[in-house]
Amino acid sequence: MKVLFATSEATPLVKTGGLADVSAALPAALRRAGVDARVLMPGYGPVLGWVEGRARLAGVLELPPFPVARLLESALPGGTPLLVLDCPALYAREGGPYHQPGGAEWPDNDFRFGLLSRAAAELARPGRDWVPQVLHCNDWQTGLAPSWLSILPGPRAATLMTIHNLAYQGLFPATAMERLGLPWSLFQPDGVEFHGNLSFLKAGLFHADRLSTVSPTYAREIQQAPLGFGMQGLLSWRSRYLSGVLNGIDTAAWNPGTDPLIARRYGPGTLARKDDNRAALRERFGLSPGPGRPLFGVVSRFAHQKGLDLLAEVTSQLVALPAQLAVLGSGEAPLEAAFRELATRHPGEVGVVVGFDEGLSHLLEAGADVFVMPSRYEPSGLNQMYSQRYGTPVVARDTGGLADTVTDCAPATLAEGTATGFLFREPTPEALLEALTRAAAAFANRRMWRALQRNGMARDFSWDASAARYAALYADMTASPGGWQNAGPGA
Ligand code: ADP
Ligand code: GLC
């Protein structure tokens, strides 16, 4: 089975969130399972830097109205074959993959990811040595590929559109249709149009043969308002083509027994060594030493999705429990300001590092006693899985992938050895505080706490099970060739 995995970011070259982790780990796991998966991504500066001296020119893509692009063949640092879409004018810029150095989005993101989608579609057609049977698209940045394939003549790969986050829809004014060279015939509700705009994500959700998202619970949640973000009608109409496949984690990169980025390595039998990581973490965050109070930790994008405003509202009560808080994150300015203010108000008890720091995120997973994820919605979430593997029980909202991976601590789950954290239902400060308080009380009970830690560490979050599910999905998709539209809606 040959699969082209089209994505806009991949660890460790370019990462803004979990999509990058998935884009590196899933294709690698697929290859271990015998699937010939290859990654396609844009040639941003760090990508070109990595492939320099280890790439070969595999072709030139002339896809008007886009500028001519080169296709470079290389491999990701983990060894997965990589196709780089090299078009320096669009991708090799100072700044992030989606944002300029000042924080504003690149004004030509429609064109930049229009080309990524168009190139993915081109590579999903015959004409080269290696022709995939499946084009696996990820999020809005590659959402137009299935739409292009719906209008290009001749045979093509089957298409899977995976939703990592439905809130980011790639919305552009209708005028983008002409800029991108898309025919107006596609600009309709049964197509790429979404409330008068062009939506890259809607395009993929409408035209792809199959849809998937990154946890079973989120697959159900997005078929209704509010988590469908306006796409719930389309998603429930296409529900028989929609699957929820839970993400895994890279268990080699995230292993407290071998992690070079933490202060002291440990395992389920040597949990006392976690204390050294806690001490190192306190030092990095300017927190006072001293036993007794649990250290709560956060690593997150500062976005409305993540519900950190709820945490900011109850931080003073959390400190009074007593407890400490270490927050690593960056994003929305008001949240950065709120946590900085809390650190000033509670010196030695609340510490904040604003920024993106991969190494520090490992130390935080190892050094925190409790990890906090109060997400309003969470398609999968990775940190709650990293946390469990690091013996760090989780306080999380009962939604999406969090609901599928964290087991609430209750007498029954403690007795059967499955409890790994503390779930709360309502997205309110009160409900969060109640769960934080439960966690702090459990922390005081040494034996119970060790049981929670070991339950989490014993969980298998490796990619192998998920990769097998994707492989089965690919097999199913290719067994019945042709687009779903060929068979008619609802067929
Ligand atoms: P999302 O993709 O919605 O941000 P995930 O939980 O799937 O959420 O993945 C987030 C990934 O990004 C994790 O690997 C997490 O450790 C990482 N991350 C987020 N913010 C930071 C940060 N400030 N510093 C380091 N890593 C971060
Ligand atoms: C998105 C989601 C996150 C998920 C990640 C990878 O960024 O917000 O929940 O883990 O994609 O699928």
CA pair distance 377, 435, nearest whole angstrom: 17
Q: Is 159 close to ligand 1, i.e. is its CB under 6 Å away?
A: no
Which helix H or strand E contains 31, and what residues bound it?
Answer: helix 18-32
What does each of the 491 residues of the chain score in pLDDT, given as a tens digit? 999 999 999 999 999 999 999 999 999 999 999 999 999 999 999 999 999 999 999 999 999 999 999 999 999 999 999 999 999 999 999 999 999 998 899 999 999 999 999 999 999 999 999 999 999 999 999 999 999 999 999 999 999 999 999 999 999 999 999 999 999 999 999 999 999 999 999 999 999 999 999 999 999 999 999 999 999 999 999 999 999 999 999 999 999 999 999 999 999 999 999 999 999 999 999 999 977 899 999 999 999 999 999 999 999 999 999 999 999 999 999 999 999 999 999 999 999 999 999 999 999 999 999 999 999 999 999 999 999 999 999 999 999 999 999 999 999 999 999 999 999 999 999 999 999 999 999 999 999 999 999 999 999 999 999 999 999 999 999 997 554 444 333 33
Q: What share of the chain is helix, strand, coil (3-state, %, to 5)?
A: 40, 20, 40
296, 435 in Cβ contact below 8 A? no
Position 463 scores a pLDDT of 95
Q: Which residues of 380-392 are buried (b: 16+ CB within 10 A; e: fewer)?
A: bbbbbbbbbbbbb
Which residue pairs from 262-267 have beta carbons closer than 8 angstroms and sit at least 24 positions apart in sequence? 262/362, 262/363, 262/365, 262/366, 262/367, 263/363, 263/366, 263/367, 266/366, 266/391, 267/457
CA pair distance 442, 440, nearest whole angstrom: 5
> For the chain, how long is the longest CA-to-CA vector?
69
Distance 54 CA to ligand 2 centre (A): 30
Position 481 scores a pLDDT of 56
Q: What CA–CA distances, in Å, run from 108 to 194, 254, 376?
A: 19, 36, 30
Pick from 22, 98, 299 the residue to mutate for probing ligand 1's pocket: most ligand atoms within 8 Å of its CB. Answer: 299
CA pair distance 122, 244, nearest whole angstrom: 27
* DSSP conformational letter for 180: H
Which helix H or strand E contains 84, and what residues bound it?
Answer: strand 81-86
**Ligand 2: residue whose CA is nearest its atom 3:** 381
Q: Which sign, positive or negative, has the C-alpha torsion 310, 312, 313, 319? A: positive
pTM of the prediction?
0.94
Q: Is 453 close to ligand 1, i.e. is its CB under 6 Å away?
A: no
Q: Is 381 close to ligand 2, i.e. is its CB under 6 Å away?
A: yes
Ligand number with the minimum distance to the CA of 384: 1
Q: Is 452 close to ligand 2, i.e. is its CB under 6 Å away?
A: no
Cβ burial, residue 155 (10 Å; 0-12/13-18/19+): exposed
**Ligand 2: residue whose CA is nearest its atom 12:** 164
CA pair distance 379, 404, nearest whole angstrom: 10
Q: Is 217 close to ligand 2, i.e. is its CB under 6 Å away?
A: no
Pick from 164, 213, 384, 397 the residue to mutate for probing ligand 2's pocket: most ligand atoms within 8 Å of its CB. Answer: 164
**Ligand 2: residue whose CA is nearest its atom 1:** 164
3-class DSSP assignment, residue 154: coil
Position 416 scores a pLDDT of 97
Beta-carbon neighbour count of residue 41 at 10 Å? 26
CA pair distance 54, 49, nearest whole angstrom: 10
298, 329 in Cβ contact below 8 A? yes
Distance 164 CA to ligand 2 centre (A): 5
Q: Is 164 close to ligand 2, i.e. is its CB under 6 Å away?
A: yes
CA pair distance 277, 433, nearest whole angstrom: 26
Position 103 scores a pLDDT of 85
CA pair distance 303, 2, nearest whole angstrom: 36
Q: Could you tell me the two tokens for 64?
A: 């008007």
* DSSP conformational letter for 10: B
β 56-61/69-75 pair status: antiparallel
Beta-carbon neighbour count of residue 261 at 10 Å? 14
Cα angle 227, 380, 161; round to 5:
75
